[in-house]
Chains A and B, each alone.
Chain A
Amino acid sequence: MKTNVFLGTLAVAGMTAGMAFADGHGGSTLDVVKERGSLKCGISTGLVGFASQDANDEWEGFDVAVCRAVAAAVLGDPTAVEFRPVTNKERFEVLNSGDIDMLSRNTTWTFSRDVDLKLEFAGVNYYDGQGFMVPKSLGVSSAKDLDGAPVCIQSGTTTELNLADFFRTNNISYQPVSITTASEAQQAYLAGRCAVYTTDASGLAATRASFENPEDHVVLPEIISKEPLGPLVRHGDNEWGDVVRWTLNALIAAEELGITSANVGELSAAATDNPEINRLLGTEGNLGEQLGVAADFGAKIIMADGNYGEIFEKYIGENTPIGLSRGLNAQWTDGGLLYAPPFR
């Protein structure tokens, strides 16, 4: 049973290499996706609330919902997604090499990523920011009181750089305690290896929610960075970029217009009095045709998992263990930053 296995695998690999002709770069991504019948969507390898696998191997979460919405828009089927979990390090390379069609993976929109790495951000689906969590017993009320504290920090992320900047501008010192994953951070923090844990506010909320006694820990008021997270695609394929951008906008606009998964069937059955709802749901105008997808793409998107607000509540909202409030991620009409351009 020795040499045989090796040669067997080799030969079969040769066969599959011949058969599995990788999806080439030629042609627009939209056509490739339609032809393939499924969307290849890069997601996080696991991030509480944003992308996680349930016991039946189904992916779910806030970032995953964006993938499903795009699949619903293009293919009319929110389950026609091939999820490809990618790590922090490989995510951009995988996207640029054409292995995946889009990336919806908690990625901060920054200048260099947009310009230097030749990526195109399709918008922002979550406005995050870096914060601090400390045990209540420490008696600290502001991050500026943390002089000399050991801080748990995920190495190799923008949070590490933000932290250094913050402490330098405030002229205080800290001892970094390097950790690699959120669960490791949680253990290190609970075991007292660090007095402070810093990461994106959403991550802090999730970590705090997992504690046995969450009320013993406080998230400090300072938010020291801007982390607009959103889905992204490759540079140079603008039609595809438009599809992803307007899918996201449709989710946001639907909430503003009051279209929910409960009433979308009724609203899309026949034209209503509100022309913008009609255009979004495809009962009026030809927005779908302009975008190169079905006329009722808007209705399909909302049917997948609901509008932005519903997705938020389902995966990371106040009724979930993570318990995030809308904050910056409320509609502009409620004092938040969500502002979808008009569907016209």
Chain B
Amino acid sequence: MSGTHAHSPSANTAYVQKTIIEPSPPPASETGAMKWVRENLFSSIPNSLLTLLTLYVIYQALMVVVPWIANGVWGTEGEGPNSLDECRQQLEGAVGGCFAVIRERWQQLLFGNYPKDELWRPTVAFFGLILAALPVMFVKLPRVLLIFTGIFPFVTYWLLWGGTIWAPVLFLGTVVLGYVVYSKLVGQSFFMGILGFLAVVFIGGNFLVGPIADALQGIIPISLSDVESREIGGFILNFVLGITCVSLSLPLGILLALGRQSNLPIIKGICVVFIEFIRGVPLITLLFVASVMLAYFLPPDANFDIMVRVIIMITLFASAYIAEAIRGGLAALPKGQYEAGDSLGLDYWQSMRLIILPQALKISIPSIVNIAIGLFKDTTLVSIISMVDLLGMIQQRIFNTTEWFGVYWELLGFAAFLFFIICYGISQYSQWLERQLATDHR
């Protein structure tokens, strides 16, 4: 009927459609929101029942949560409420969260016992972290910014722990010197280069930096007040541990993964034993070792900072997992890729650096990010060894003050909120990165 092609205007034709009929809209039940609802929510009787049930549950949950948040008492500085009792008086029996605790204690939640006059230091370090992370995260940014990323750890160390500026500056110098040695030696072999780098940094860092920094401090004193490791707490402790350990465990994990694939029996053996041992032990055990047992292995007067001990343990733990993730990536590469490297005449390190690892790491991104997120959340475990991270601050300190004893959901909800933001952010970034790096056409 739609044909309106009148090839011969015959007089016998009773009726000829002369115009095009406008397409009529689809039936209401087959379009828009109605269609979506019908197909997705009420497609059959059991599904309709389930939908109604779910809606009821969501409604019930919201009826509890929404008034609790909307009615919440924040209070103001000075006027209070400054305790759970005052909160309750203000609420007069109505349902509502006592968020005043977050208002009063936010500094402790974020910074632990960091000296109150010095809070600008971790704050600056935090924004510095964002700046330093950007060029690493987004390759399109100018590469010059990577210089800042390189300096950032030293600046942050100085900002957070204080002391003389010369120690981190000199140590940075040692690292640069190490890099020079590396670039001289890398001509011979990549491995020699790394060895040279490590030797310079080790000798310089352990024997030279300290005395020279003291001497320079005597001449040109620039320093911030000292802050002890146990004063650093709250969410920045989670941050320091999480960021440091992830960044350190990634190179270590790569080396372990390569070592495990190695043909050299001793290196392979060491890597396998290390990985399997660490993976077979819970993180809590390692943390206890760091806090209690290490003292038995160190000379009695050595006062090895608890933060360093914990960073080492978490790094070892994470590196074993990352090594396995990367090994998965290595195993996924076809043998032809290795052979391609060999046929080009590349040596082992060259073919790894130029051909194998870029592909293997790309494959491993989801698992590595998974480990990073897990690691970041695992940093809350340090609260059991007397380090007061965000969770420790909540559970050990604020829960046990006379004013706030009995406040529960507000604080834990706040902690969950902070962790969610960070972890969700990491997850979104990694998905974006995967799309960016997708060179195959799946």
28 pairs of residues in contact across A and B, judged by CB atoms under 8 Å = A1-B149, A6-B315, A7-B171, A8-B157, A8-B205, A9-B308, A10-B308, A11-B171, A22-B300, A22-B303, A45-B386, A45-B400, A46-B397, A47-B400, A48-B405, A55-B105, A55-B107, A57-B116, A87-B386, A90-B386, A182-B399, A183-B395, A183-B408, A186-B405, A206-B402, A209-B405, A212-B88, A322-B402
Q: Is the CB of A12 within 8 A of B167?
A: yes
Interface residues on A, range: 35 or more
Using Cβ atoms and an 8 Å threshold, which residues of chain A touch B88?
212
How far apart are the CA atoms of A56 and B300 in the complex, in Å?
A: 34
Using Cβ atoms and an 8 Å threshold, which residues of chain B touch A186?
405-406, 408
In the complex, chain A residues 222-238 whose Cβ is within 8 Å of any chain B Cβ: none
Q: Is the CB of A9 within 8 A of B311?
A: yes
Q: Is the CB of B248 within 8 A of A6?
A: yes
The 5 closest A-B pairs by CB, nearest first: A11-B205, A46-B400, A210-B406, A183-B399, A52-B401
* Contacting residue for B248 out of A3, A13, A22, A320, CB 8 A: A3
In the complex, chain A residues 12-52 whose Cβ is within 8 Å of any chain B Cβ: 12-18, 20-22, 24, 44-49, 51-52
Nearest neighbor of A17 in chain B, beta-carbon distance? B302
B90 interface hit (Cβ, 8 Å): no
Using Cβ atoms and an 8 Å threshold, which residues of chain A touch B399?
46, 181-183
Contact with A along B49-87 (1 / 0, CB 8 A): 000000000000000000000000000000000011100
**Interface majority SS on A: helix, strand, loop or mixed?**
mixed
A263 interface hit (Cβ, 8 Å): no
A211 interface hit (Cβ, 8 Å): yes
How far apart are the CA atoms of A44 and B108 in the complex, in Å?
A: 18
* Contacting residue for B205 out of A10, A22, A48, A206, CB 8 A: A10
Q: Is the CB of B85 within 8 A of A321?
A: yes
Q: Is the CB of B157 within 8 A of A9?
A: yes
B104 interface hit (Cβ, 8 Å): yes
In the complex, chain B residues 273-306 whose Cβ is within 8 Å of any chain A Cβ: 292, 295, 300-305
Q: Is the CB of B175 within 8 A of A7?
A: yes
Using Cβ atoms and an 8 Å threshold, which residues of chain B touch A142?
none
How far apart are the CA atoms of A22 and B299 in the complex, in Å?
A: 11
* Contacting residue for B157 out of A12, A22, A207, CB 8 A: A12
* Contacting residue for A182 out of B247, B304, B400, CB 8 A: B400
Contact with A along B229-255 (1 / 0, CB 8 A): 000000000000000100110110000
A4 interface hit (Cβ, 8 Å): yes
How far apart are the CA atoms of A9 and B58 in the complex, in Å?
A: 49
How far apart are the CA atoms of A54 and B403 in the complex, in Å?
A: 9
Using Cβ atoms and an 8 Å threshold, which residues of chain B touch A209?
405
Interface residues on B, range: 35 or more
Q: Is the CB of B401 within 8 A of A1?
A: no
Using Cβ atoms and an 8 Å threshold, which residues of chain A touch B202?
7
Q: Is the CB of A2 within 8 A of B247?
A: yes
> Which among A14, A21, A44, A51 has the highest number of chain B CB atoms within 10 Å?
A14
Using Cβ atoms and an 8 Å threshold, which residues of chain A touch B154?
4, 8
Q: Is the CB of B301 within 8 A of A21?
A: yes
In the complex, chain A residues 205-219 whose Cβ is within 8 Å of any chain B Cβ: 206-207, 209-212
How far apart are the CA atoms of A12 and B168 in the complex, in Å?
A: 9
**With contact pairs A8-B168, A46-B397, A212-B88 given, residues A1 and B150 touching in the complex (Cβ less than 8 Å):** yes
Using Cβ atoms and an 8 Å threshold, which residues of chain B touch A21?
301, 303
Q: In whole Å, how far is A321's beta carbon from the nearest beta carbon of chain B?
A: 6
* Contacting residue for A57 out of B108, B150, B301, CB 8 A: B108
Q: Is the CB of B395 within 8 A of A181?
A: yes
A85 interface hit (Cβ, 8 Å): yes
B201 interface hit (Cβ, 8 Å): yes
